[in-house]
Amino acid sequence: MLKREAVITNAKLHALTHAHILGERNLQILKSELRQGEPEFDRLKQDLEALKNKPLGWEGTFRTAAEPERQRVQRTDTAIEQQLEVRTAFREHGALLQAHWVVP
């Protein structure tokens, strides 16, 4: 009976040791990933601080006075193009459905 208990205890100890080793390995991997991400995190923090300290408004944001208008026109053109693509896809899909559901 004591021999059986010793074997069971050794098996539990082995399982716990194995789990501890795996946990240590995972901890090392996470620490390594954290160290690799630190420069990016620091850069993002600096960017955030720079944005916080940047004055609000239009001054210094654009190189020329015409640039805000040019960007607005670009955004409008892009939105119109996207709407046309969606409408075209909708019409094509509608035509396809009609072709499938029309009884000859």
Residue positions counted in the chain? 104
Residue 30 — very low, low, confident or very high, per pLDDT cuts 50/70/90? confident
Residue 59 belongs to a domain: no
Tokens of 22: 């795996």
- Mean pLDDT value across residues 31-54: 79
The residue among 4 and 62 whose pLDDT is bigger is 4
The residue among 90 and 96 whose pLDDT is bigger is 90
For the chain, the average pLDDT equals 82
If asked whether residues 79 and 36 sit together in one domain, one would say no
**Would you give the distance in Å from CA 73 to the centre of its chain?**
29
- Cα–Cα distance list, 43 to 35, 40, 47, 50 (Å): 14, 5, 6, 10
If asked whether residues 15 and 47 sit together in one domain, one would say yes
Task: Tell me the C-alpha distance between 52 and 57, whole Å.
Answer: 13
pLDDT at 72: 84
Residue 15 belongs to a domain: yes
Q: Which residues in 16-44 are b (16+ Cβ under 10 Å) and which e?
A: eeeeeeeeeeeeeeeeeeeeeeeeeeeee
pTM of the model: 0.41
Residue 42 belongs to a domain: yes
Show the domain range for 20. Answer: 1-54
If asked whether residues 4 and 47 sit together in one domain, one would say yes
- Look at residues 12, 28, 54 and tell me which one is the last residue of a structural domain: 54
pLDDT at 1: 83
- Give the number of domains in the chain: 2
If asked whether residues 5 and 47 sit together in one domain, one would say yes
If asked whether residues 50 and 76 sit together in one domain, one would say no
Give the position of tokens 């690799």.
36
